[in-house]
């Protein structure tokens, strides 16, 4: 199967090239040429399987069969073997017909581990096969960076550079990026906010000579493989609660529109999802857009859910491509409008499509705090502030007849200061992370400037060094 760019001006690529490319050369994002569909019977057959086996059944069609099944199965098994829960992504009930899907049992306590651990293995597999190296860059609002640093810790072929906004991530989040001490892992503290970091990464990709020189690859959710790897838990959770025989609903804490787009993909693949809820914090560009059809950026405000403090949701472009009937010219126009004036209007038919596909609710800081307290009192379950945005959205919707699944995207111990302020408790880190808060940190401070960032990467990446392949020093 081939993959096409949402902007229609880049060549079609196979899965391996899409995996290594990240962003398409025309600035667009890759999606499969068509959505694979699982039959009712195939979906029913997922029930009762361990998570890593469900992952293979979903990823095999989504990767167009590009990775031999045996290799894919081995990678899924390795990726999900080190989670702190045998079910990998367990469901916990918090109220009648309301469930929390705990996606935070990976090594860095956020859902990003689920996709990143597989992505790192897929990349190393393809680079090994091609006898090549890559320079991997990523922007993080907090959780992607830690997940990437951990997932690529043992990668043999990749040098990893993570850009994070100086002073805007929690201590736990920062330490997950800065405490691993390996010459191929680089945490870059950038003088700016997350949108600046994301813009710098996009600029690196759009500088085509630099991109080719250092063999640039991306690990943000602009990378198709990450989205694909997130489709897995929608199927796993839904079949546990009776799909495909009965539908379920999902509420998804949303920043870059990656996770919620994975839910949309699951629906395209035949999973019966009744209601899909976009849950945002006070940075509510998506909630406003669902309401009034206008996508308009505002200043980012800092909240207790920093991983969602985002105004430009990159993956929304993938949805616009779908909703417009895969009209790349329409996507290019909208994205140019965004670049030039910070806004675009969906128009009647796109607005209707968006409205038909998703609900959206934003939660301000008061609602987040009230939700954390309420759920704790009613169920004894401690939600982190990101998850609380989704729980708030569900509580606004009233009683439903189908199971409502709230995605828990982070462990509350990842945000101890916020939790202390809200509920007066500092949730303990799992014991496997005991040394995190005392190990020495390694990071480099850089200005919000393309030239400085490119220079640093060029100096450090082993792609430009004559080190023989296979030599890890």
Ligand X SMILES: *Cc1c(COP(=O)(O)O)cnc(C)c1O
Q: Within 138-157, which residues bind ligand X (CB under 6 A)?
A: 143
Task: Report if residue 258 touches ligand X, rule: CB under 6 A.
Answer: yes
User: Phi/psi at 186 (nearest 5 deg)?
Assistant: -130, 120
Shortest gap between Cβ of 436 and ligand X (angstroms)? 17
Burial annotation 115-154 (CB, 10 A radius, 16+ → b, else e): bbbbbbbbbbbbbeeeeebbbbbbbbbbbbbbbbbbbbee
User: Binding segment for ligand X among 74-82, 248-256, 291-299, 465-473 (CB under 6 A)?
Assistant: 248-256
Shortest gap between Cβ of 262 and ligand X (angstroms)? 8
Distance, CA of 201 to CA of 221 (rounded, Å): 12
Among 254, 282, 362, 395, binds ligand X (CB under 6 A): 254
* DSSP conformation class of 467: P
By beta-carbon proximity to ligand X, the closer residue of 106 and 244 is 106
Q: Within 89-128, which residues bind ligand X (CB under 6 A)?
A: 110, 112
Assign 3-state DSSP to the chain and report helix, strand, coil percentages, each to 5: 45, 15, 40
Among 193, 217, 280, 409, binds ligand X (CB under 6 A): 409
The first and second tokens of residue 414, run together, are: 């990842």
Task: Report if residue 317 touches ligand X, rule: CB under 6 A.
Answer: no
Task: Report if residue 404 touches ligand X, rule: CB under 6 A.
Answer: no
List the catalytic residues: 112
Task: Report if residue 195 touches ligand X, rule: CB under 6 A.
Answer: no
Cα angle: 14, vertex 111, 406; to 5 degrees = 115
By beta-carbon proximity to ligand X, the closer residue of 389 and 457 is 389
Shortest gap between Cβ of 459 and ligand X (angstroms)? 29
CB 368 within 8 A of CB 406: no
Q: Within 329-368, which residues bind ligand X (CB under 6 A)?
A: none
Helices (H) and strands (E) in the chain, counts: 19, 15
Chain position carrying tokens 């480099």: 444
**Total site size for ligand X, rule CB under 6 A:** 17
By beta-carbon proximity to ligand X, the closer residue of 112 and 157 is 112
CB 288 within 8 A of CB 294: yes
Task: Report if residue 170 touches ligand X, rule: CB under 6 A.
Answer: no
Task: Catalog residues that contact ligand X under the rule CB under 6 A.
Answer: 110, 112, 143, 221, 253-260, 307-308, 386, 409-410
């Amino acid at each position: 199967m081939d993959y096409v760019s949402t902007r229609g001006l880049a060549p079609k690529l196979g899965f391996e090239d899409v995996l290594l490319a990240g962003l398409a050369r025309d600035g667009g994002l890759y999606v499969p040429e068509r959505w694979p569909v699982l039959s009712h019977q195939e979906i029913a057959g997922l029930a009762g399987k361990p998570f890593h086996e469900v992952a293979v059944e979903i990823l095999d069609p989504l990767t167009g069969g590009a990775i031999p099944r045996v290799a894919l199965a081995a990678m899924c098994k390795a990726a999900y073997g080190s989670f702190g829960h045998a079910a990998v992504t367990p469901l916990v009930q918090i109220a009648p017909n309301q469930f929390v899907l705990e996606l935070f049992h990976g090594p860095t306590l956020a859902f990003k581990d689920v996709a990143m651990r597989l992505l790192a293995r897929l990349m190393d597999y393809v680079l090994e096969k091609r006898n090549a190296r890559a320079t991997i860059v990523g922007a993080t609002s907090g959780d992607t960076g830690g997940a990437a640093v951990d997932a690529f810790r043992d990668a043999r072929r990749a040098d990893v550079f993570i850009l994070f906004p100086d002073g805007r991530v929690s201590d736990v989040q920062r330490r997950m990026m800065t405490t691993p001490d390996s010459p191929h892992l680089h945490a870059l503290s950038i003088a700016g906010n997350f949108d600046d970091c994301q813009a710098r990464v996009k600029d690196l990709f759009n500088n085509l000579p630099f991109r080719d020189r250092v063999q640039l690859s991306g690990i943000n959710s602009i990378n198709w493989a990450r989205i694909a790897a997130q489709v897995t838990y929608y199927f796993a959770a839904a079949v546990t609660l009776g799909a495909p025989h009965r539908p379920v609903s999902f509420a998804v804490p949303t920043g870059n529109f990656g996770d919620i787009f994975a839910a949309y993909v699951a629906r395209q693949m035949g999973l019966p999802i009744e209601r899909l809820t976009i849950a945002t914090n006070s940075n509510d560009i998506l909630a406003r857009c669902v309401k009034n059809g206008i996508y308009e950026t505002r200043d980012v405000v800092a909240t207790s859910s920093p991983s969602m403090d985002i105004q430009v949701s990159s993956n929304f472009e993938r949805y616009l491509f779908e909703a417009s009937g895969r009209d790349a010219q329409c996507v290019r126009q909208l994205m140019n409008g965004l670049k030039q004036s910070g806004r675009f209007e969906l128009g009647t038919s796109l607005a209707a499509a968006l409205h038909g596909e998703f609900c959206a609710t934003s939660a301000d800081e008061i609602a987040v705090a009230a939700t954390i307290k309420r759920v704790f009192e009613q169920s004894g379950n401690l939600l982190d502030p990101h998850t609380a945005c989704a729980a708030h959205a569900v509580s606004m919707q009233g009683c439903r007849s189908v199971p409502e699944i709230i995605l828990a995207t982070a462990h509350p111990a990842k945000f101890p200061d916020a939790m202390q302020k809200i509920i007066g408790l500092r949730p303990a880190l799992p014991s496997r992370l005991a040394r995190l808060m005392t190990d020495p940190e390694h990071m480099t401070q850089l200005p919000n400037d393309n030239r400085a960032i490119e220079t640093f990467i060029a100096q450090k990446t082993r792609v430009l060094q004559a080190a023989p392949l296979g030599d890890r020093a």
